[in-house]
């Protein structure tokens, strides 16, 4: 290789240094004029240049045969990292570097025009060094992007695996709830079927006949209610429910609801208390709000009367919470609810909730549902005991309320202590979001 004159080499490096600001400005202008580099205009001068002045310093040091003060691969990788954080795709970073190489080659042509007696071998040497530096910059940037993409993919994989495991766990818990509901449904059908069979006996006394009729009606009502809940849950999960938002005086709505439930409370030997302002008008769906409150209230009344030795207590209260939210609370003195139910409610439909749970039936007139194959009929005493102890599945009703709360952008929280009772707290917006 022909020896390069050091004075000529110093001269061209000085020229490139003195032209650096123009080189960087022309580089940015070329990128801004590229319709495939739309993000460039949003970068400040410092952000756009980033580490390129350091890379040009390394080019100068190589031209002069000086030891580089910085590692080119490290600096170029840092430039690629910066572009990644600025949301530029790899192809965009490559296009930027292509524009820079064209600007530098054009400067060499300008230098040759200005200094016509320049040795061609000098220009070839400088051209080769520019190509080498930019090629290493290309390679380091690609490697950095590849590293970041692999890390990003690994992070996404971990997140997806975690989300999948959570979904599988919720599916298992939800399956347990539905299986329990199916078991409860089967139990009520079995009791109703047995009662219907016993009613056909000729030797029944009037008192026994009345007892079996009440048993039949009670369990058919349970069957009707559980089927209604399952249908409601299916309709909610399929998105078939629509919202009807308007001004609602929730104080009036809740007081009327509590007043209507006083008969059930007296029947179950429960003290039903109500506390709240005389008037509180909010924007919401009155029908869905009523369903939420009714389900929670019926649930509280049903489970607060399990101990016949003492009266249960159910408290319904509501209040304004700041300027943007109001809170409905229903607290009972029942046995508490299962951990599996609270887990499903707290994890599914995660917008802004903490722990959650709910319960309650939509009561309706029963239709007769009798199986064809009649199992072995228990005795009258056994059947009465089974009827009294027949459970109402709590999980489906609670999921219904959870879905309704989600539709109304409400937070549903639950606090429960075994043997002491459960508190449901529903936090709702005063004004329904217009864009929702």
Residues 38-88 pLDDT 10s = 888 888 989 999 999 999 999 999 999 999 889 998 998 888 888 888 888
pLDDT band with cut points at 50, 70 and 90 for residue 388 = very low
Percent of the chain with pLDDT over 70: 70
- CATH 1.10.490.70 in the chain is located at 6-160
> Per mean pLDDT, which of 10-19, 208-217, 310-319, 340-349 is the most reliable?
10-19
Q: What is the predicted pLDDT for the residue at 110?
A: 93
Residues 246 and 201: their CA atoms lie apart, in Å, by: 56
pLDDT tens, position by position, 100-148: 999 999 999 999 999 988 889 999 999 999 999 999 998 988 888 888 7
According to DSSP, residue 117 is labeled T
Given a cut of 50, whether residue 156 has pLDDT beyond it is yes
Q: Parallel, antiparallel, or unpaired for β 411-417 and 246-249?
A: unpaired
Given a cut of 70, whether residue 412 has pLDDT beyond it is yes
175 burial level (CB within 10 Å; 0-12, 13-18, 19+): exposed
- CATH 3.30.565.10 in the chain is located at 246-366+387-429
For 130, other C-beta atoms within 10 Å of its C-beta total 21
pLDDT tens, position by position, 289-344: 988 898 898 888 877 765 556 778 899 999 998 889 999 999 988 887 765 555 54
Given a cut of 70, whether residue 434 has pLDDT beyond it is no
Span of 256-260, 386-390, 422-426 with lowest mean pLDDT: 386-390
389 vs 354, residue with greater confidence: 389
- What is the assigned CATH class of domain 6-160? mainly alpha
Q: Which fold has domain 246-366+387-429?
A: Heat Shock Protein 90 (3.30.565)
Contact 331, 421 (CB under 8 A): yes
Contact 83, 42 (CB under 8 A): no
Within the chain, what is the greatest distance between any pair of CA atoms?
Answer: 130
Residue 412: half-sphere exposure toward Cβ, Cα within 13 Å: 30
Question: Looking at the whole model, is its pTM more than 0.75?
Answer: no
Given a cut of 50, whether residue 35 has pLDDT beyond it is yes
Span of 151-155, 349-353, 416-420 with lowest mean pLDDT: 349-353
Percent of the chain with pLDDT over 90: 29
> Per mean pLDDT, which of 12-16, 177-181, 191-195 is the most reliable?
12-16
Given a cut of 60, whether residue 394 has pLDDT beyond it is no
Q: What is the predicted pLDDT for the residue at 29?
A: 93
pLDDT band with cut points at 50, 70 and 90 for residue 418 = confident
């Amino acid at each position: 290789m022909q020896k390069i004159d050091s004075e000529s080499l110093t001269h061209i490096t000085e020229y490139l240094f003195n032209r650096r600001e123009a080189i960087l400005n022309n580089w940015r202008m070329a990128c801004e004029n590229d319709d495939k580099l739309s993000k460039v205009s949003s970068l400040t001068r410092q952000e756009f240049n980033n580490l390129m002045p350091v890379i040009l310093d390394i080019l100068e040091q190589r031209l002069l045969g000086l030891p580089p003060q910085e590692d080119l691969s490290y600096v170029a990788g840092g430039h690629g990292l910066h572009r990644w954080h600025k949301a530029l795709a790899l192809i965009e970073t490559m296009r930027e570097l292509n524009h820079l190489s064209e600007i530098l080659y054009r400067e060499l042509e300008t230098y040759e025009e200005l200094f016509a007696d320049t040795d061609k071998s000098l220009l070839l040497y400088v051209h080769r060094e520019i190509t080498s530096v930019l090629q290493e910059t290309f390679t380091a940037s690609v490697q950095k992007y590849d590293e970041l993409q692999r890390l990003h993919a690994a992070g996404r994989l971990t997140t997806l695996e975690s989300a999948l495991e959570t979904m599988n766990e919720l599916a298992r818990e939800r399956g347990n709830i539905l299986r329990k509901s199916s078991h409860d449904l089967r139990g009520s059908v079995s009791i109703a079927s047995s009662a219907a069979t016993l009613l056909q006996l000729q030797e029944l006394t009037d008192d026994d006949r009345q007892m079996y009729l009440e048993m039949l009606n009670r369990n058919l009502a349970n069957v009707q209610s559980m089927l209604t809940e399952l249908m409601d849950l299916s309709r909610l999960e399929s998105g078939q429910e629509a919202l009807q938002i308007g001004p609602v005086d929730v104080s009036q709505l809740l007081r009327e609801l509590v007043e209507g439930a006083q008969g059930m409370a007296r029947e179950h030997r429960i003290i039903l208390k109500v506390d709240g302002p005389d008037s509180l008008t909010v924007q919401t769906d009155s029908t869905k709000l009523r369903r939420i409150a009714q389900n929670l209230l019926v649930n509280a009344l049903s489970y607060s009367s399990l101990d016949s030795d003492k009266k249960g207590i159910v408290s319904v209260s509501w209040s304004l919470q700041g300027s943007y939210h109001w809170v409905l609370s229903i607290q009972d003195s029942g046995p508490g609810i299962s951990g599996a139910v609270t887990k499903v409610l707290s994890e599914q439909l995660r917008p802004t909730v903490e722990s959650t749970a709910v319960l309650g039936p939509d009561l309706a007139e029963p239709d007769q549902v009798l199986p064809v194959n009649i199992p072995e009929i228990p005795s009258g005493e056994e059947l009465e005991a089974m009827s009294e102890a027949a459970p109402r599945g709590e999980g489906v009703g609670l999921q219904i309320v959870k879905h309704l709360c989600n539709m109304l952008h409400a937070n549903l929280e639950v606090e429960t202590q075994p043997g002491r009772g459960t508190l449901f707290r529903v936090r709702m917006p005063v004004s329904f979001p217009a864009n929702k």
